[in-house]
Amino acid sequence: MDRWKGRVALVTGASVGIGAAIVKELVRYGMKVVGCARDLEKMQKLAAECQSEGHSGVLVPFKCDLNSEEEILFMFSAIKAQHKGVDVCINNAGLAHPESLLGGKTSGWKNMLDVNVLALSICTREAYQSMKERNVDDGHIININSMSGHRVVHSTDVHFYSATKFAVTALTEGVRQELREANTHIRATCISPGVVKTEFAPRLYSQNTDKAAGAYTKFKPLEAIDVANAVTYVLGAPPHVQIGDIQMRPVEQVL
Ligand SMILES: NC(=O)c1ccc[n+]([C@@H]2O[C@H](COP(=O)([O-])OP(=O)(O)OC[C@H]3O[C@@H](n4cnc5c(N)ncnc54)[C@H](OP(=O)(O)O)[C@@H]3O)[C@@H](O)[C@H]2O)c1
């Protein structure tokens, strides 16, 4: 990870959960991390925590609602002005709403598409353009996908979510191919976890306390740090090694 010291990483969804754990690891390795989310206060607390641990890296919190392309583009122009550009883009922000395919609300589907698919694609494009204009040839795009991007589980609550994550699988491989065509050494990777204990399930089941309470008790889930460790593994691999996808489940998870 030494070569990433002082370099700039954008981590979306940095306020809690997997994103916050990724931020901590990258700061520990000396990276300058721009973290974005809607909850600025939580990111400010995280930044103070990172600082108090005395590592050479830093978290710069940036309030951004990824539903809005305008806000995303504004964030990239601010990063350009303040930090020159993005060397590593970690598309982590994501969410699910329990809106079934046969009876769910369009607004919930749209929110999932906007954040999980469109914002990820806009950030990827902008990060690549930022690398290209600065002749950065060793950058990295990392998408936090899901096992739900690889198989469809028998739960109407996550069928649409699963479709957005299948899109992430296709987008990661598509980006890898376009990077090859552009003759760069920039890498594209996705990480596909099974159940991880975060705010994901409580948010998904905010209207169903039983489901929320049961989400992480059936077996020992992954912790956010397990996924963050996978991120530093793919980033830390030698420059000629491109890891396409890491699929990781809790040992006791069946599907
Ligand atoms: N937890 C799991 O079991 C699991 C399993 C597989 C994959 N994943 C994936 O892992 C990624 C991270 O999820 P998590 O488990 O860490 O969930 P989480 O604890 O709910 O965190 C989600 C993050 O996304 C951010 N976010 C959501 N909507 C946003 C918006 N409109 N604009 C900006 N930021 C937004 C949230 O920040 P604010 O609310 O502050 O905006 C938060 O920081 C997601 O892509 C998820 O699909 C999770």
Distance 78 CA to ligand 1 centre (A): 23
Beta bridge partners of 62: 36
Pocket test for ligand 1, best of 91, 95, 219 (most atoms within 8 A of CB): 95
Q: Cβ distance 66 to 39 under 8 Å?
A: no
Concerning whether 29 is annotated as a catalytic residue, the answer is no
136 phi and psi angles, rounded to 5 deg:
-85, 115
- The packing angle between helices 17-28 and 224-236, to 10°, is 50
Nearest CA owner, ligand 1 atom 23: 13
% of the chain with per-residue pLDDT over 90: 99
pLDDT tens-digit readout, 2-27:
999 999 999 999 999 999 999 999 99
At position 201, the amino acid (one-letter code) is A
Q: What are the distances in angstroms from CA 228 to CA 160, 221, 224, 248?
A: 25, 14, 6, 12
pTM over 0.85: yes
127/253 Cα distance (integer angstroms): 35
CA of 92 to the centre of ligand 1 (A): 7
Tell me the pLDDT tens digit for each residue of 156-171: 999 999 999 999 999 9
Per-residue pLDDT of 32-47, as tens digits, reads 999 999 999 999 999 9
Closest ligand 1 atom to 38 CA:
41
Sheet-wide strand order for 88-91: 58-63, 32-37, 8-12, 88-91, 140-144, 187-193, 245-248
49 close to 74: Cβ distance less than 8 angstroms = no
